Chain A
Amino acid sequence: MAPLISIKDLSVAFHGVPVLRGVDLALHKGEALGLVGESGSGKSVTWLAALGLLPRNARVSGSVRLDSREILGAPAAELDRIRGGRVAMIFQDPASALNPVLTIRKQLCESLALHRDISGGAVKAEARRLLDLVGIPDATRRLEAYPHEFSGGQVQRIMIAMALAGNPDLLIADEPTTALDATIQAQILELLSTIRREMGMAMVLISHDLGVVAENCDRVAVMYAGRIVEEAPANQLFADPVHPYAQGLIGALPPLDGPRRRLTAIPGTVPDPASMPDGCAFAPRCALAEAPCGIVAPSLAPIAEDRAVACIRAEASRRALLGIAAE
């Protein structure tokens, strides 16, 4: 089966500084993919670039195919039909994601008018239905309210309603719960998974929170310094991470139960995109790095069915994790 969307060798540079350095990703219909990584790893840029949402000074190359049709560099009119139509997006900061001077009705109906073949009273009825669907009570009255009259969690619900307006096949959720309190985060994640199940919609969940991604996705890709370093089914990645960075991320997460252990912090910091080290970008922070790691950047290679990793020390790393002495 052809993937719903496939990204090949996607690269982005701002003013000659590369921030995305060859990303390959594919997503099937109805699938939930998690994208984790720290700030600056390129997880948001990947999807902003794919949908042509980056500012003009960004240099984008590679290929993005939606149902086998190239959309990278497609005419503006075609992209406008895709955005909010087949592919919808929600963002992190609910406080500023909605236009402060327009009512919820205007912003929601705008999406409906753009992507649905309905007009007049039907638009408003559909807007009410969507607000009901995402759990905003008293929809008729709330449609006339402005964004500042809602709490952060409610704004994120409205964002989801707007995203659903075009009946999308794919929803890109970029850190959708990062700014929200724990109990509200749980509400939003549950809403997303219910809607996804009911509508058979595929989802990309971008998050710095490994737990959020692990619980809500089928497959996870770990990004570091503009590249994907490991890709695996969610349960396998967390039980058996192979890339030293993925291992580091999981080891750095304090456990919520069981015995307390000292956190295995990754030393150093993320490299500056303007002065990226030669070879593997993680090598300077990697405990397993050897001389060859500093020469050529490893490419993402399959190590099992559904699993791929970009590390020439993958074997050693796996052994280290399992506690087997090297040789």
Chain B
Amino acid sequence: MSRPLVEVSSISRSYSMRSGMFGRSAAIHAVHGVSLTIPRGETLGLVGESGSGKSTTGRIVLGLEPPDHGEVRFDDKPMATPGTTAWRAQRAHMQMIFQDPLGALDRRLPVAAQIREPLDIHGLGTPLEREERVRELLRAVELTPAHGARYPGALSGGQRQRIVLARALATKPDFLVCDEPVSALDVSIQAQVVNLLADLQAQLALTLLFISHDLRVVRQISNVVAVMYLGRIVEIGCADDLFARPEHPYTQALVSASPAPGRRSAGRIVLAGDPPNPAARPQGCAFHPRCPRTITRCASEVPALSNVGGNRQVACHLVTGPQVETRDAA
């Protein structure tokens, strides 16, 4: 087996924020000791609620901001220092798409010109070849040259996200970070874009980091899924298996909270308490104040992410070793 394309080892990132009357600054641990590996051609899904640190993780992995601790390796090389030539060369191999395609596009420029822009920046091909590449990219995202001549305002939300995707693919990247790429789209359009992304991934052997709060979409596209809560990974495992048999009480609650047609709300785990606040991270296991199964130890000791068998890792004092007894308690 070849080495994974992306290797993230225990990255942490904290910000300082002033709070209170006298402006004392407090450190907010946005991301804490996160490790991930993404094999070539595979997709890692990152799920969590707002404040879980999933977007910050994506930005660090892409080198948009440096980690305070830890390291990101891309293609077996450490991330280059931002701004250097080496960094720019590396960046051509990795791209990002966001939730809001209108914000990512320039409203005053035809979209074809925007797809072409990265080719001009990285000096790829002759002008004629660039034109041809733009047409090819438009075809790849199932749009026509006529769409390319339009301005972002004259396209629908789904079409705009296709344009953003085409632009991201212009430099033939190996790695794509997608941060909530379909969250703003209607269900039927969302399905179009998810299918397109899956097709392109297969054709181009893309490696994806797919960040979303939507468990269904994440499962659809991911091989492995990591669940984050207040800056830490609490559970990671194969997508189908993780959602079918979640081990961490938080994952169980998330899966249970995801509404499904044909199921009534009876038996749902409803968590008490407020949503997690990164500025007031609880001691011990950050999830313990909302956890329905908390024990004394949870309030003082941070559980480490440990292997429980079957490619599954869980950070919970109640889930230890590869036995299955705790599952029934849920």
Contact = CB atoms under 8 A, between A and B. Distances in A.
**Chains A and B bind each other:** yes
Interface of A: 38-39, 151-154, 181-187, 189-190, 193, 208-212, 214-216, 235, 238-239, 248-257, 260, 262-267, 269-270
A241 to B, nearest CB: 10
B254 A257 contact: no
A214 B243 contact: no
Nearest to B277: A151
A215 B260 contact: yes
Contacts of B77: none
Interface stretch (B65-73, B88-96, B264-272): B264-272
Nearest to A152: B275
8 contacts: A38-B187, A182-B215, A183-B49, A183-B257, A211-B258, A235-B262, A252-B187, A264-B191
Given A39-B186, A187-B271, A212 B259 contact: yes
Interface in B192-244: 192, 194-195, 198, 213, 215-217, 219-220, 240, 243-244
Given A214-B263, A255-B216, A260-B220, 8 more contacts: A182-B254, A183-B275, A189-B265, A211-B259, A211-B260, A212-B259, A216-B265, A256-B219
A215 B195 contact: no
Contact of A208 (B187, B243, B268): B187
A38 B187 CA distance: 7
Interface of B: 49-50, 156, 158-159, 186-192, 194-195, 198, 213, 215-217, 219-220, 240, 243-244, 253-265, 268-272, 274-275, 290
Contacts of A264: 191
B213 A190 contact: no
A181 to B, nearest CB: 4
B165 to A, nearest CB: 15
Given A151-B275, A263-B220, A214 B262 contact: yes
A154 B194 CA distance: 33
Contacts, number: 130
Contact of B274 (A154, A182, A185): A154
Contact of A256 (B191, B260, B268, B271): B260
Contact of A153 (B190, B220, B259, B274): B274
B265 A257 contact: no
B187 A183 contact: no
Nearest to B220: A254
Contacts of A248: 188
Contacts of B259: 189, 209, 211-212, 214-216
A185 B265 contact: no
Nearest to B199: A262
Contacts of A250: 261
Nearest to A185: B257
A211 B272 CA distance: 21
A134 B272 CA distance: 13
